[in-house]
């Protein structure tokens, strides 16, 4: 692999097959995948130093499987990654186990996810890209997508290096994977990210967790909280704080005081000392939680992918799983046996249209589940609190009532209709609990419970249908 200082001019003299903007999860994996199919790829990244992020640290089993399909399973080795077998939910003094289902009766082993330091995982992906013969990795900031004045086709990228030297690269296909804060998204889609909350994060050192190889969710008493190991000694604590709560906390005593008084007391007792120590150390960081429905792009010569293309709330950890499965699907649809050359822009646009529809098999369930569960977990009105309790009681039934939702969350079961079935079942089960409680008290309480059922069911419809319709329209 040529040194960084040697390659820009060398590459600029030739037309590339593919230019990828952004060496994150999707960008790096896709660059390697296309190169292994014989394409010449330039991978452009603004900063090649190890990133330090507070999300992108939990890869669901469906993402692990996709990574292995791509021949990049080694990225999870030697990064102190922790196996994840499922979730344990803490709900108002109760503990509910939520393990991934057994999907292969022959192997008789449940699938596992992985949790890790995001930066270490990214650096392993970039290392594989650097070592791939047909991939050239360049550290530079993309400034502008170049377009043909006549056809409006994207033909390349103008960028600048760290020393502010401008460089232009031309490619048959430009893939934009520049993340959540994409600077190019607005040029090719009418959708903009919707942000209503932020994750506030702490990194706990040597926290005493109730169990190993389990991620934890704390709901029912305050903001939704996630806890999972990212290394042998490090544990991530994520607190979802809505914008309205953050503004109120900031006006009062500040977010640190809010976490100390309203969040840490709700954590498992064994975790509280490490959380308090991390907070006092001053390591509180935040990032926005966004939702962005996918939009079909028909501009020839360019494809918008990754978080620049589609986002869901990170509460369920589905982002990297969707991204890696996108790469698996693109490997099939953009293969040289189907598209001999990416200069055939008409065929590329047709295949990207197929990609947009085929990806719904896995992306729709993960997208809707993330948004619906977040709405249930935040439970900011009485009807949502009834649905939240119904969800907990439903998964406590065990069997398919817990295993299939866990499989949907883990990306090992792909069925939007199964998700809709379980969501409807949770809603009806919640109504059943409400009616039984009313009947046990008196006839008048029963009548009141029946009227409340209509409000609860209406709320359930409001929770899931906007996201379902958005997925169908996108």
361-387 mean pLDDT = 91
Return the pLDDT at 14. Answer: 66
50 pLDDT more than 70: yes
Q: Are residues 262 and 283 in the same domain?
A: yes
Q: Are residues 239 and 160 in the same domain?
A: no
The verdict on residue 21 lying in a domain is yes
Of the given ranges (68-77, 232-241, 430-439), which has the lowest mean pLDDT?
Answer: 430-439
Q: Are residues 176 and 321 in the same domain?
A: yes
Q: Are residues 390 and 443 in the same domain?
A: yes
Q: Are residues 462 and 388 in the same domain?
A: yes
- Cβ proximity of 128 and 72 under 8 Å: yes
CB-based contacts of 139, cutoff 8 Å, min separation 6: 4, 45, 46, 47, 48, 161, 162
The verdict on residue 91 lying in a domain is no
Return the pLDDT at 474. Answer: 64
Q: Give 222's pLDDT tier (boundaries 50, 70, 90).
A: confident
Q: Are residues 45 and 165 in the same domain?
A: yes
Q: Using one digit for the tens of pLDDT, what is the confidence trace for 137-183?
A: 999 999 999 999 888 899 999 999 888 889 999 999 999 999 999 99
For residues 275 and 225, give the distance between their C-alpha atoms in angstroms, rounded to a whole number: 12
The verdict on residue 415 lying in a domain is yes
Share of the chain above pLDDT 90, in %: 74
Q: Give 5's pLDDT tier (boundaries 50, 70, 90).
A: very low
The closest of 124, 166, 125 to 26, measured between CA atoms, is 125
The verdict on residue 287 lying in a domain is yes
Share of the chain above pLDDT 70, in %: 95
- Out of 245, 276, 291, a domain closes at 291
108 pLDDT more than 80: no
363-371 mean pLDDT = 94
Return the pLDDT at 3. Answer: 36
The verdict on residue 178 lying in a domain is yes
The verdict on residue 115 lying in a domain is no
- Out of 275, 291, 307, a domain closes at 291
242-246 mean pLDDT = 86
Q: Using one digit for the tens of pLDDT, what is the confidence trace for 401-413?
A: 999 999 999 999 9
Of the given ranges (2-11, 302-311, 384-393, 460-469), which has the lowest mean pLDDT?
Answer: 2-11
134 pLDDT more than 60: yes
Max Cα distance, the chain (Å): 83
The verdict on residue 334 lying in a domain is yes
CB-based contacts of 225, cutoff 8 Å, min separation 6: 216, 217, 218, 219, 237, 238, 239, 240, 263, 266, 267
Query: How many domains does the chain divide into?
Result: 3
14-21 mean pLDDT = 90
- Out of 291, 308, 334, a domain closes at 291
Q: Are residues 127 and 37 in the same domain?
A: yes
59 pLDDT more than 80: yes
Most confident of the ranges 84-98, 153-167, 182-196, 327-341: 327-341
The verdict on residue 101 lying in a domain is no
438 pLDDT more than 80: no
Q: Are residues 256 and 383 in the same domain?
A: no
131 pLDDT more than 70: yes
69-79 mean pLDDT = 97
Please tell me whether residue 425 adopts helix, strand or coil conformation.
helix
CATH number of the domain enclosing 354: 3.50.50.60
- The more confidently predicted of residues 458 and 269 is 269
Q: Using one digit for the tens of pLDDT, what is the confidence trace for 184-216?
A: 999 988 889 999 899 999 999 999 999 999 999
261 pLDDT more than 70: yes
Q: Are residues 279 and 355 in the same domain?
A: no
Q: Are residues 443 and 418 in the same domain?
A: yes
4 pLDDT more than 50: no
Give 237's strand partners.
Answer: 202, 227
Q: Are residues 181 and 213 in the same domain?
A: no
Q: Give 274's pLDDT tier (boundaries 50, 70, 90).
A: very high
Q: Are residues 178 and 223 in the same domain?
A: no
Of the given ranges (245-259, 271-285, 334-348), which has the lowest mean pLDDT?
Answer: 245-259
Q: What is the mean pLDDT of the chain?
A: 91
Pairing status of strand 166-176 against strand 302-304: parallel
Q: Give 442's pLDDT tier (boundaries 50, 70, 90).
A: low
Return the pLDDT at 6. Answer: 41
| Domain that includes residue 309, residue range | 4-49+120-188+297-360
429-456 mean pLDDT = 77
DSSP 267-300: S-TTTHHHHHHHHHHT--EEEEEEEB-------T
The closest of 181, 146, 178, 187 to 44, measured between CA atoms, is 178
């Amino acid at each position: 692999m040529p040194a960084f200082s040697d390659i820009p001019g060398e590459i600029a003299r030739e037309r590339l097959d593919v230019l990828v903007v952004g060496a994150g999860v999707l960008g790096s994996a896709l660059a390697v995948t296309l190169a292994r199919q014989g394409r010449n790829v330039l991978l452009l990244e603004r900063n090649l130093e190890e990133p330090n992020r507070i999300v992108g640290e939990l890869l669901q089993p469906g993402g692990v499987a996709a990574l292995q399909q791509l021949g990049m399973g080694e990225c999870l080795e030697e990064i102190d990654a922790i196996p994840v077998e499922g979730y344990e939910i803490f709900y108002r003094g109760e503990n509910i186990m939520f393990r991934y289902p057994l999907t292969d009766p022959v192997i008789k082993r449940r699938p596992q996810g992985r949790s890790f330091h995001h930066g270490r995982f990214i650096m392993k992906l970039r290392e594989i890209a650097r070592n791939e013969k047909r991939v050239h990795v360049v550290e530079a900031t993309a400034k502008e997508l170049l377009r043909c004045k006549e056809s409006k086709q994207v033909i390349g990228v103008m960028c600048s290096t760290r020393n502010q030297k401008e460089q232009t690269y031309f490619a048959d296909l430009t893939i934009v994977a520049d993340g959540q804060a994409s600077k190019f998204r607005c040029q090719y889609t009418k959708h903009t990210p919707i942000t209503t909350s932020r994750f506030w994060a702490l990194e706990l050192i040597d926290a005493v967790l109730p169990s190993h190889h389990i991620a934890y969710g704390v709901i029912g008493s305050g903001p939704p909280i996630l806890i999972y190991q990212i290394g042998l000694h490090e544990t991530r604590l994520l607190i979802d704080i809505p914008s309205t709560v953050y503004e109120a906390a900031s006006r009062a005593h500040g977010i640190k005081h809010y976490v100390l008084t309203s969040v840490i007391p709700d954590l498992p007792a064994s975790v509280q000392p490490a959380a308090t120590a991390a907070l006092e150390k001053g390591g509180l960081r935040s990032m926005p939680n966004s939702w962005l429905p996918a939009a079909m792009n028909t501009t020839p010569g360019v494809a918008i992918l990754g978080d620049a293309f589609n986002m869901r709330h990170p509460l369920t950890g589905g982002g990297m799983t969707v991204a890696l499965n996108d790469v698996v699907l693109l490997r099939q649809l953009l293969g040289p046996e189907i598209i001999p050359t990416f200069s055939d822009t008409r065929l590329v646009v047709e295949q990207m249209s197929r990609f947009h529809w085929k990806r719904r098999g896995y992306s729709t369930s993960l997208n809707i589940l993330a948004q619906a569960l977040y709405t249930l977990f935040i439970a900011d009105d009485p009807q949502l609190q009834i649905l939240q309790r119904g969800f907990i009681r439903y998964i406590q039934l065990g069997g398919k009532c817990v295993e299939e939702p866990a499989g949907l969350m883990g990306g090992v079961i792909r069925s939007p209709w199964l998700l809709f079935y379980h969501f409807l079942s949770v809603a009806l089960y919640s109504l059943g609990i409400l009616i039984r409680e009313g009947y046990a008290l008196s006839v008048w309480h029963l009548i009141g419970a029946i009227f409340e059922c209509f409000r609860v069911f209406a709320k359930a419809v409001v929770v899931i249908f906007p996201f379902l319709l958005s997925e169908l329209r996108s």
